[in-house]
Amino acid sequence: WLSTMTSVTSAAAMKLLDVRLKHAGSILASTIGEFTSGSGGGGGQEIACLRAGGTIDLYRIVISQSGGDDDADDEDEDDEEEVTTTMKLVSRVETRSNLRSLRALRISGSKRDVLVVGSDSGCFSVLDFENTSNNNNNAPTILHCPPFGKASIRRDTPGQYLASDPRGRACMIASVEKRKLVYVVHRDSTGKVTLASPLEAHRPRTLVFDLVGVDNGYDNPIFAALEVQYEEYEDGVLRERKRREQSGETAANNNNNNGEDVEIGQPGDGFTKQLAYYELDLGLNHVSRRWAAKAHRTACCLAAVPGGADGPSGVLIGGENYIEYMHEGMAVPPLPNGGNGGGSNDAKPKRMICAIPRRELHPAAKGVLITCITVLKQKKGKFFALAQSELGDVYKITLTMPKDDKTTVTGMTVCLLDTLPVGNGMNISKLALLFIPAEFGDHGLYQFDAIDIEENAVKCTSDQTIGALLRSGEM
């Protein structure tokens, strides 16, 4: 009897640990930054990858030069040295959880980046990879891991979307629906990174499609969210039927789906997609919904444009067939062709929007969706953006601004750059390298040969797009 009880007790106390024989190859998300002192000292950068199965990999971009053999002739010695670019694995972390998002954050006054991670644990995690080479297990240091909600993945549990302030002062973590939390990041008197209590920016019955931090210099941090606010389906149906009864509409003379209720997700269902700005007031320690504007119905991804002294600020929005630039208080774009929009004299464009070049054999009735956009800030206030479509086509986005005013956008050009495997994101290095974590197949690290737009390149301009929209009456 005693032996039986001992075996039962030991079996109940036994815990199983899964150990993978081979790590997952797919990359769900990635971000680029300088996470260790080894990268910053040599001017290089590192890429943090979030792999399936809860693994975080940190790769360092290494560029080495190899000369010829010692027994080579003197003529061969004059040849150029071969340059080899590789990605060296610096750290691999097995979190044994479901990771959902990650972002690089450079705190004010720091020369390195820390990694902010969202997972199914219900915690906001801040990781530091500085001392990974000194640890035996090669694991990063957990600076903070405060809990904010229930564990597991739910539509109202924050962690699906992460955004960091470009100046490193705050982070926003959001769920698919309703909940948004803002953490203020700063340093104490000893230089240790600290997090303040989370500030709520919840909005009921609101679905979020993407989230990004807006670069507005050293003003109050602003986060841009692409969201849709909906109402109860029963309330919407009853309201629509009451409206039809009061207006005298019937199934015979109604043009909306022959009098039937429009299916959710189809044009005319009454839902509007908006770009909303959430402002963190550092003085009052409060988050408010500062501004919102209607966006294209198919918009699905965002990218922040450099601001302050480096650019006009605002965001780029990628959707189906179009790329749009939006910002609070932006000036009305000028009329194309010197004021002749092709329509009425009172027609004025209210949006800075540009079509994307389409393939010749692509069906005209089928749109092309932009899946991701990234922006690289260069020296002397220069920057450019890259966007990739669902077909793998990569486009370069150029914003036109007056020479004496870098805060006003007067035009936009979208040029076809190349066709690459479809990826879950794009990361541009300062070393003129592009890393694309492919959705299927091998991941790629590409070298830029040239980024300038040629005169005969396939491109579209905002003037052409706005003129066509004004003539068709869609703007």
Residue 14 confidence (pLDDT)? 66
Widest Cα–Cα separation across the chain: 97
pLDDT confidence of 150, banded at 50, 70, 90?
A: confident
The neighbouring-strand residues paired with 388 are: 372, 394
- Sequence-distant (6+) residues with CB within 8 A of 411 are 333, 352, 399, 400, 461, 462, 463
Choose between 417 and 475: higher pLDDT.
Answer: 417
Asked whether 435 and 423 are in contact (CB, 8 A), the reply is: no
- The predicted model scores a pTM of 0.85
Token code pair at residue 264: 């959710």
Residue 2 confidence (pLDDT)? 39
Residue 182 confidence (pLDDT)? 96
Mean pLDDT for 208-231 is: 93
pLDDT greater than 70 at residue 85: yes
pLDDT greater than 80 at residue 268: no
pLDDT greater than 70 at residue 249: no
Mean pLDDT for 161-189 is: 93
Q: Which amino acid is at 74?
A: D
Q: Annotate 197-255 with DSSP letters as a single string.
A: PPEE---TTEEEEEEEEE--TTSS-EEEEEEEE---HHHHHHHHHHHHHHHT--TTT--
The string of pLDDT tens digits covering residues 347-389 is 556 678 999 999 989 998 899 999 999 999 888 778 999 999 9
